[in-house]
Amino acid sequence: MSDQQALPRPVVTGLGAFTPLGRGAADLFEAVCHSKSGLRKPPAGHLLDGTVGSAGIAPEISARDVLPPSEGRLVDRYVLMAMAAADDALADAGIEVGRDVDPHRVAVVVSSGAGGLTTYEEQTQARAERGPTAVSPYLLPGMLPNMAAARIAIKHGARGWSSAIATACSAGAHAVAEAARLIRYGEADVVICGGAEAPLNPTSALAFSHARALASGWDDPEQASRPFDRRRNGFVLAEGAGVLVVERAEHADARGAAGYADLLGWGATTDAYRPTAPRPDGEGAAYAMRRALATAGLAPSDIGYVNAHGTATKLGDIAETKAVHAVFGDHAPAVSSTKSMTGHLLGGSGAVEAAICAMALTRGALPPTHNLDEVGPGCELDHIRGEARQQRVEAVISNSFAFGGHNVSLLLGTASTRKKQ
């Protein structure tokens, strides 16, 4: 038996999603397979009304939906969405901490790129308007980037490793990779992992807009996010959360649980280039994919689908295209970017897209890129367009790349446990 085979296998047994396409991972997957967009013009009264023409706005949620009344004071929206997704993922996995697994063997790694920026901004405004006494003592436990992980651990009684990784748009993917490492190296039997972001406030939107990162000039908000398309001109800011339950496969087998996918490999690199621009040659992204393949012990020809980072920025899409060509050469897998329908959830994107990849393996369907009317120069790949491509594949890669040059590639394969239906 090889070293790879001897190590514990991480398997995804539960999924939760809270996105502009609604609450629930199954509904999310159904929507993206049919090119349904969750993007819209911010309605009157929304914080972004009049600031941007298109945004990915998730459903309403209140503290009482996920927390007891005594604990719901001033909890940021990113925490609430993460908690809802975690509740759903644990229910989907059929796990109750303490009943089905030792609490000390349950880890929580739920990340955010920036934490509760909206709550911080509101409290800063309150101080400016009403003075120092207006600042709430609940501000920090309500908005710090680690608080989604902390609240989830507290609610469900998880007493093992708990952390949050703040790597901007790669934060959710980094959390999933960390979960795989914790399982692989015997530090946990179950890991609740993922990412969440609630960046829909004027300051965040204006910062991205002034950096010329946001899509603009689209009369129809559903057309604004168009990765790899010739007319792309930026991403659509979105909010949401994705949470996966990753479990030691032997533990899942022992309790009769079914899996969506095995987490076979991961790769993480740093461009060491510029704070807000990717390496033009895509070398950092390519090396992340190669590391994921090496960790999984697979060849490029084994990969049937890549869920691209694909934000619809001019430079980013071309750099990722070069990276895919560099890694796969003549063994080109199918490619799509589901951000065309969800928008860019920043620190939540990687986990949401990993969940989509897990379901693609289970359902035998590969979601398309919406709004890809004409492939832009330098973006030539085997793009999936229109409806989902009905194709069973054995292994897929999900890419996440971030400001700061943080690159993460997750490699998922067919579940080695009993399969989810």
Distance (Å, rounded) from C-alpha 186 to C-alpha 166? 24
Please name the helix (run of DSSP H) or strand (run of DSSP E) that holds residue 270, with its range, or none.
strand 261-270
Tell me the catalytic residues: 169, 309, 344
Q: 126 exposed, middle or buried (CB, 10 Å; 0-12, 13-18, 19+)?
A: middle
CB atoms within 10 A of CB 127: 14
User: For residue 327, what are the contacts with CB-CB under 8 A and spacing of at least 6?
Assistant: 286, 289, 290, 293, 300
Main-chain phi, psi angles of 156, to 5 degrees: -100, 0
Main-chain phi, psi angles of 378, to 5 degrees: 85, 5
Mapped onto helix, strand or coil, the DSSP state of residue 378 is coil
CA dist list (Å): 274 to 18, 241, 271, 361: 32, 27, 8, 35
Distance (Å, rounded) from C-alpha 395 to C-alpha 413? 4
